Amino acid sequence: MKIKTGDKVMVITGKYKGTVGEVTKAFPKEHKVIVEGVNVYKKAMKPNQANPDGGMVDIQLPIDVSNVMAYDSKAKKASRIGYTLEKGKKVRVYKKTGAKLK
């Protein structure tokens, strides 16, 4: 899985198509990621010590990694990710522009 936590991604299919956000959590074994502001649902929570009032809480659910692409902020385009060797180390690069990912 080439998408990692902290990457900027663009959603390419589904209800949130075109939305750009940051990956807050990645689940490589399940091939899913949680993207900030995408796939947000409300859940009713009972009162507990952490949340004494209870009520409705926003929860971000994971989406499949095949539904997102890495987003190049400088080029303002979504791009696939490739690898190049630099001083014997693998470096992730955008395939459209050739720029390095952070």
| 26-80 per-position pLDDT tens digit | 999 999 999 999 999 999 999 999 889 999 999 999 999 999 999 999 999 999 9
Q: Which residue, 23, 20, 47, 48, is CA-closest to 35?
A: 23
pLDDT band of residue 86 (cuts 50, 70, 90) is: very high
Write down the domain spans for the chain: 8-94
pLDDT of residue 102: 76
Tell which CATH architecture fits domain 8-94: Roll (2.30)
* Distance between CA atoms of residues 59 and 82, nearest Å: 32
CA distances from 62 to 10, 31, 37, 101 (A): 14, 10, 11, 23
**pTM across the whole model:** 0.84
